[in-house]
């Protein structure tokens, strides 16, 4: 565990303290990341970094302190190896993948060297050196624009806390924990590898102070179907050991010490929620068709080849977005070669059993460094990294690396229907260069006598300039995928990571809705002059939000790509929808600009 178990009071799972007066019910809010409701007594975990000792080691003892650090890292590596070896057969595929991510971070050469530097040059003790280096890395991650990648700092923090625990010789989350009644976990953060505790039934749900919808902890929570709320920043300080807590994973609400009336209401809602989820499972093999018999494509967003299993289990019709960034990150100078990339793409193609797979080329750059060292060298220091050298701009700045990825993708296309998705395209020159590099990659494979397959080429529409110049994209690309997360951010000029303005990040802003409707309408109309249909899908958060499904169907969207855990809930909305009736209602939404009018028009969609 990246946070050690610290119960406020005596030892682990101490008996409930006697209370002499009752405090009023307390409501807290966080980010809902996994549906369902949990009711139980709070078990409090405090961060291991809260009590880190800070002292200077004696001159001449630096190497002994470094060896102490290395011994702790070896202990953590053995712990992770044991965790992976002991994974039960029915554990989600994400578990093994995330343990591998933590092992990779633990073995990161640059992080190890930088931590040792703190010890040698400043004589910091090992714990202090680790937390100092973590602070440096955290500042770099805070500059990232992409939410998913920014939240990867949580993985680094979790690895650091494992090492801190090993340095202290203390235990993590007790796997043999037991107690009377249901328990819920309240923590600063929880490592995905330690979440098997939930599978054994000890904990019914969890709350963390930090995290977001795309954190690895959230992903595992969804795969295990555990009610969870993250990013509830004050939960750890306001909730007390053994408080009765209600976790509403649907709305992100936490209720502490609820009244008997509220408690009974939530017990009934908990039963209803469980029945609803059981009913959703019956839809797995039901074709996704609207009431007027129009087929709708429901695809999965994945991050690693291991994610294919839960995607198929949820009934995904294919992969709508495979992010390739994590093949490249935290590798230092040892970036994945063509064969390593080919192996990863091949695993996805084979796992999806002939279903279509869309793989996005590396979406990384100034705001998403391949390694934290990039920042310290100043190579990617920009005033506004979100608008800098990233995504396709980064790939085109390094043609050799880009062609290597394209060659690996072309080779994997032999194994099934493969689509290649280009991120953040905005200019005609970028389109021409991308097509030229793809042709060069084919020529290089021909010269080596290496076989490859056909690919469809698509563009991500996430920049307003691309949306407004859509005819250019429709002429050159086989399909389009709308990244609504960035489209909203760039359209409204809102940094969704900046808490001071995050309340203005609004997918239902009239400008966003009209731009999205325009993209879908123009793409569907392109079939008339291209002689064949051009597919358009949405792969951002809007696609996986069931409350948005009817709106998007009314706009004409027929392809949705989302996290596998959201597929059945969206399918249920599809099965209940009649696009013929929704279309005129959506037109009313698109013509509404005042907030009151817009809300009334959205409510009419049902």
Average pLDDT taken over every residue of the chain: 84
The three-state (H, E, C) secondary structure of 523-554, written as one string: HHHCHHHHCCCCEEEECCHHHHCHHHHHHHHH
Helix (H, G, I), strand (E, B) or coil at 457: strand
pLDDT band, very low/low/confident/very high, at 370 (cuts 50, 70, 90): low
Q: Note whether residue 555 is domain-resident.
A: no
Q: Note whether residue 164 is domain-resident.
A: yes
Residues 222 and 162 in one domain: no
Evaluate whether 535 touches 480 at the Cβ level (below 8 Å). yes
What percent of the chain has a predicted confidence (pLDDT) above 90?
Answer: 49
Which of the pair, 334 or 499, is modelled with greater confidence?
Answer: 334
Residues 330 and 447 in one domain: yes
- Residue 539 a catalytic site member: yes
Residues 251 and 392 in one domain: no
Q: Is a pLDDT exceeding 50 seen at residue 368? A: no
Residues 138 and 228 in one domain: no
Give the count of beta carbons closer than 10 Å to the beta carbon of residue 592.
Answer: 17
How large is the average pLDDT for residues 374-394?
61
Residues 87 and 214 in one domain: no
Of the ranges 107-121, 263-277, 478-492, which is most confident?
A: 478-492
Q: Note whether residue 372 is domain-resident.
A: yes
Q: Note whether residue 471 is domain-resident.
A: no
Annotated catalytic residue within 102, 188, 539, 563: 539
Given this model, what pLDDT does residue 551 score? 98
Residues 163 and 79 in one domain: yes
Q: Is a pLDDT exceeding 70 seen at residue 592? A: yes
Residues 118 and 233 in one domain: no
Residues 105 and 219 in one domain: no
pLDDT band, very low/low/confident/very high, at 457 (cuts 50, 70, 90): very high
CATH code of residue 127: 1.10.274.10
Given this model, what pLDDT does residue 241 score? 81
Which of 129, 145, 168 corresponds to the end of one domain? Answer: 168
Compute the chain's Rg from CA coordinates.
25
Annotated catalytic residue within 216, 308, 509, 563: 216
Domain with 90, as residue range(s), is 60-168
Which of 443, 461, 479 corresponds to the end of one domain? Answer: 461
How large is the average pLDDT for residues 552-561?
97
pLDDT band, very low/low/confident/very high, at 381 (cuts 50, 70, 90): very low
Residues 31 and 178 in one domain: yes
Number of domains in the chain: 3
How large is the average pLDDT for residues 207-216?
79
pLDDT band, very low/low/confident/very high, at 218 (cuts 50, 70, 90): confident
Q: CA 227 to CA 304: how far, in whole Å?
A: 23
Residues 159 and 235 in one domain: no
Residues 162 and 225 in one domain: no
What's the pLDDT tens digit per position in 284-299?
999 999 999 999 999 9
Given this model, what pLDDT does residue 188 score? 82
The residues that bridge with 457 in the sheet, in sequence order, are 420
Q: Note whether residue 475 is domain-resident.
A: no
pTM of the entire structure? 0.70
Given this model, what pLDDT does residue 250 score? 86
CATH code of residue 250: 3.50.30.10
Q: Is a pLDDT exceeding 60 seen at residue 17? A: no
Q: Is a pLDDT exceeding 50 seen at residue 584? A: yes
Residues 349 and 453 in one domain: yes
Q: Is a pLDDT exceeding 80 seen at residue 374? A: no
- Residue 308 a catalytic site member: no
Which of 461, 482, 497 corresponds to the end of one domain? Answer: 461
């Amino acid at each position: 565990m990246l946070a050690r178990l610290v119960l406020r009071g005596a030892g682990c799972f101490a008996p409930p303290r006697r209370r002499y007066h009752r405090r009023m019910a307390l409501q807290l809010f966080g980010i809902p990341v996994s549906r369902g409701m949990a009711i139980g007594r709070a078990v409090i975990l405090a961060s291991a970094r809260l009590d880190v000792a800070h002292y200077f080691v004696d001159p001449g003892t630096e190497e002994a302190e470094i060896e102490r650090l290395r011994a702790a890292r070896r202990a953590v590596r053995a712990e992770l190896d044991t965790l992976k070896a002991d994974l039960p057969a029915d554990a989600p595929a994400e578990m093994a993948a995330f343990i591998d991510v933590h092992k990779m971070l633990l073995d990161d050469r640059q992080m190890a060297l930088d931590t040792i530097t703190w010890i040698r040059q400043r004589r910091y003790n090992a714990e202090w050196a680790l937390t100092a280096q973590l602070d440096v890395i955290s500042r770099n991650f805070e500059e990232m624009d992409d939410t998913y990648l920014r939240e990867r700092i949580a993985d680094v923090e979790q690895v650091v806390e494992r090492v801190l625990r090993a340095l202290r010789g203390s235990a993590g989350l007790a796997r043999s924990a037991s107690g009377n009644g249901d328990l819920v976990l309240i923590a600063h953060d929880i490592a995905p590898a330690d979440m098997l505790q939930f599978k054994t039934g000890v904990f019914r749900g969890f709350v963390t102070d930090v995290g977001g919808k795309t954190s690895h902890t959230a992903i595992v929570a969804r795969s295990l179907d555990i009610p969870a709320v993250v990013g509830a920043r004050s939960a750890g300080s306001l909730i007390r050991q053994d408080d009765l807590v209600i976790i509403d994973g649907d709305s992100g609400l936490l209720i502490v010490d609820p009244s008997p009336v509220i408690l009974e209401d939530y017990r009934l809602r908990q039963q209803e929620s469980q029945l609803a989820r059981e009913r959703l499972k019956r839809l797995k093999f039901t074709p996704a068709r609207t009431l007027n018999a129009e087929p709708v494509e429901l695809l999965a967003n994945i991050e690693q080849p291991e994610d294919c299993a839960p995607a198929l289990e949820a009934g995904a019709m294919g992969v709508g977005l495979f992010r390739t960034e994590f093949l490249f990150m935290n590798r230092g100078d040892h970036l994945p070669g063509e064969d390593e990339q080919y192996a990863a793409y091949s695993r996805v193609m084979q796992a999806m059993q002939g279903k279509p797979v869309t793989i996005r080329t590396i979406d990384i750059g100034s705001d998403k460094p391949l390694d934290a060292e990039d920042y310290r060298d100043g190579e990617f220091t920009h005033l506004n990294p979100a608008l800098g050298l990233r995504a396709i701009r980064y790939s085109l700045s390094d043609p050799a690396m880009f062609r290597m990825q394209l060659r690996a993708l072309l080779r994997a296309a032999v194994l099934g229907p493969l689509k290649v998705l280009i991120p953040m395209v905005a200019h005609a020159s970028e389109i021409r260069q991308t097509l030229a590099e793809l042709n060069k990659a084919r020529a290089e494979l021909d010269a080596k006598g290496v076989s490859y397959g056909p690919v469809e080429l698509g563009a991500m529409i996430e920049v307003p300039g691309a949306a407004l110049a859509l005819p250019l994209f429709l002429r050159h690309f086989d399909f389009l995928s709308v990244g609504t997360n960035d489209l909203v951010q760039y359209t409204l000029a809102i940094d969704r990571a900046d808490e001071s303005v995050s309340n203005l990040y609004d997918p239902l802003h009239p400008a966003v809705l009209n731009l999205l409707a325009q993209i879908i309408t123009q793409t569907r109309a392109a079939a008339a002059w291209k002689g064949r249909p051009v597919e358009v899908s949405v792969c951002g958060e809007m696609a996986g939000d069931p409350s948005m499904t009817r709106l998007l169907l009314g706009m004409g969207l027929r392809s949705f790509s989302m996290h596998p855990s959201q597929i059945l809930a969206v399918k249920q909305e599809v099965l209940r929808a009649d696009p013929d009736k929704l279309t005129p209602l959506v037109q009313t939404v698109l013509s509404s600009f005042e907030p009151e009018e817009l809300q009334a028009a959205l409510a009419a969609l049902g």
